[in-house]
Chain A
């Protein structure tokens, strides 16, 4: 075909190239282009490297969160004071708690590897750990979330028949039954971390698997990935009374959550990173739980593991839990009943 305004092929491609170069030059600045073309690290191709917040950003986040929580708390406390009166006990209590709010960003101590062990011979299935955990971790009271679930399962010698396990037992302890509290296992190989599309959850150097609530997009992949059902989702806007607020908080742990984020056990990161014990260990009326540092030969966890051995749940899943169960020395499992608080 021939006609007016005909350009030959060579000139046309030259023109096109010129225009394209012009457009791309205008649309993306050089620096963005360079960052877009940044070479991919080998570690990123071979496997997802653990994402961790630097100490600095975490501290900054914690400070920001503390201001936010305090603001919210004071607002709620004022509401309580208006409702119950200035001098009322509740008003004083609410203000006291808001005053004490402290959001920490304590980093992992180098060389520490936390682990927990539970003596199934001692556990009586009373569920005190599950509910103290709710209090300690400022878990929403309206979303039905309890990080610890206690299973009752028939016992056959030193084996447990988990197929017949149930949660809704109303009488305990019963003969021939064992009670197995289950929460996050803080796996060495956490499938939840692998499933997260936005890297909002990761394993800390001391072995605690944490969730960044600010990053979580609520897709719940991690919940399906977890073989232990240890992750829980805030389906509704979390409601916690300031009268029951635990002021000791960690930015990766028990800060009040927002709606549509996933949360889980953090081994009371706000206590243990600063040298304390988790709330479940503290409240257990029979002392069935042992917590400590695997790398410390003097720690209680080493002592029980060396003395009694241990088993883990679902070893075939390959998750390598850091939560161990063992059959302790209790010759007479606690029997009978005694009312009231132990």
Chain B
């Protein structure tokens, strides 16, 4: 630990040259992974709660009050509490992201319990030898298309890991964009033709009456 702390400035010098390039794209994604690109270890002291390079500031957001060390187990770079390794949404498969739920569970036991019984977060279903593909569908909705050999004996499971909805460093969930407005039933077929026909019929009828009326009068005497 002591050694690590002393070595850190050296390390920082080494990465400082690199940092402007990566800064723009920092915080999440390909650029910061694997961590060993730049660090062999991290040395988060009990006091660090912000990091400019990684664009993380725990003074803001719902996790204000936490320190890096609440979740990151220094000195290993990619080890988190609950003994899980870092995996990043978009970069790693969902299975390994699910492992990170244990990090959150260590403090949010109640919500985690809700999540386990499918009362927090959304759920999906699984079938034997089936796959679920995300397709863009009606009005741009992202829709899971399930392809199962047989649609029986389905099992419910959480659809997403905690970190897919909550950024661990600023956990209040951001709302996704909204989709276009609702449709209404189609307008009824064009009836102006029918109306025209009605008007014509009325006129023809009137004309007939007028035409036959004098005839009747003639007949009467």
Contacts and interface: CB of A to CB of B under 8 A. Distances in A.
B121 to A, nearest CB: 4
Contact of B143 (A124, A136, A298): A136
Interface in A7-48: none
Interface string B147-188: 110111111100100000100000011111111111111101
A214 interface: no
Contacts of B177: 126, 337-340
A285 B176 CA distance: 8
A100 B182 CA distance: 30
| A104, A126, A282, A304 — most chain B CB neighbours (10 Å) | A282
B99 to A, nearest CB: 19
A300 B188 CA distance: 44
Given A143-B185, A172-B178, A276 B156 contact: yes
A9 B153 CA distance: 78
A52 interface: no
Interface string A252-288: 0000000000000000001100111101011111110
A274 B152 contact: yes
A287 B120 contact: yes
Nearest to B110: A329
Interface stretch (B45-53, B122-130, B209-217): B122-130
Contact of A283 (B114, B122, B139): B122
B182 A334 contact: no
Interface residues of A, number: 72
Given A274-B153, A275-B155, A131 B179 contact: yes
A337 B173 CA distance: 9
Given A244-B137, A277-B156, A124 B175 contact: yes
B118 interface: yes
A283 B146 CA distance: 13
B184 to A, nearest CB: 5
Contacts of A298: 117
A102 B149 CA distance: 10
Given A102-B150, A102-B151, 7 more contacts: A106-B152, A131-B143, A172-B175, A285-B165, A287-B120, A300-B118, A341-B176
Interface of B: 62, 114, 117-125, 134, 136-148, 150-156, 159, 165, 172-186, 188
Among all A-B residue pairs, the 5 with the closest Cβ atoms:
A276-B125, A131-B141, A276-B154, A338-B174, A300-B119
12 contacts: A126-B178, A127-B139, A127-B178, A136-B143, A146-B183, A167-B182, A171-B178, A274-B152, A274-B153, A279-B144, A285-B122, A285-B165
